[in-house]
Amino acid sequence: MFIFVINFMENSIDRHKSEKLYVQLYEILRKKIESADWVVGSQIPVEEELCKTYEVSKATVRLAILELVRQGYLIRQQGKGTFVCKRIIPEGLSMSTSFKELMLDAGIDFSTEVLAQTVMMPTDDLDVKLNVSEDQHIIYIKRLFSVDKEPILLQEAFIPRDVCPSLLEEDVANDSLFELFEKKHGIKITKVKDYLLITHLTADEGLFLGLPEGSSAILLEQHFFSGDTHIMYMRSIKQPGRFRFYIEFDRKAS
């Protein structure tokens, strides 16, 4: 997977720059989308036209478009063309990413509504999931994340109260749980286990996400550890079509 480092602002290709041409073109086209010069749903110009406009080869245009598709800015429709699509939030499965960081990285404004910040006992199999005793109090935090007033992520976090009792009084609307754990309370997250599956929304979940009951959605279940201690179980239901997961592998040199 390509990782771009973009550090120029021009709207035209500069052949004297060290950056590859397709990287420059990617950045120009990305800005067109982000500034709504190319609006969501519109078809982008055909390859020949882009070649002509930016005075580059077809290969350069293809590489730039390919990366825009990969980054979730464009979508290709067989036999119809390439269209600007709703910004998809790329979500790495890297353990260090939080929703807030991903949003900030992607330059997307979002809002957070705290639906619950309370305490409960572990029911069903929550005690097994968190590896705690049945009489352990659990801090329960439920939040709804929205972009442009559209709800896109419903998240429930279950934290054994013993791990961080003051979490009950923290400002979880503005601070990410990871920041609170690591920066404020010195609880280092050392391991995350992610399970990604398709779920069908309950009536309650559908209500929050603005989707009918039974709709398919992405469910990300995460188990967070600090050393050997299981510090949090998180359940995130994501609006389909608004997230794209990627896994980046680095091959170790032999």
Partner 1 sequence: MSNGKTVKDVMIDVFEFPHIPYWFSIKQAIGITKKALLTSDKCLHPLIMLVFDEKYNLVGTLTLKDIIGGLEPKYLKATTKAQVPKEDESGLALLWDTLFDSEAKQAAERPVSEAMAPTKIFLKPDDPLTKAAYLMIHNDLILLPVLEDKKKFVGLVRMIEIFNEVSDAIFKG
Q: Which of 95, 106, 168, 211 binds partner 1 (CB under 8 A)?
A: 168
**Nearer CB in complex with partner 1: 124/228:** 124
Q: Which helix (H) or strand (E) holds 200?
A: strand 191-200
List the interface residues with partner 1, window 5-24 (CB under 8 A).
none
SS3 (DSSP) at 60: helix
**Least separation in angstroms between CB 153 and partner 1:** 18
**Least separation in angstroms between CB 136 and partner 1:** 10
Q: What string marks each residue from 197 to 226 as x (binds partner 1 by CB under 8 A) or -?
A: ------------------------------
Q: What string marks each residue from 107 to 126 as x (binds partner 1 by CB under 8 A) or -?
A: --------xxxxxxx-xx--
Q: Report if residue 32 touches partner 1, rule: CB under 8 A.
A: no
**Nearer CB in complex with partner 1: 35/133:** 133
What are 182's strand-pairing partners? none
**Nearer CB in complex with partner 1: 6/120:** 120
Contact between residue 242 and residue 218 where contact means Cβ atoms under 8 Å apart: no
d(CA 72, CA 91): 11
**Nearer CB in complex with partner 1: 111/118:** 118
Closest by Cα among 162, 159, 190 to 172: 159
**Least separation in angstroms between CB 88 and partner 1:** 31
d(CA 138, CA 115): 16
d(CA 224, CA 185): 15
**Nearer CB in complex with partner 1: 109/124:** 124
First-last CA distance in the chain: 20
Closest by Cα among 237, 238, 233 to 157: 233
Q: Which chain residues interact with partner 1 by CB under 8 A?
A: 115-121, 123-124, 133-135, 137, 140, 142, 161, 168
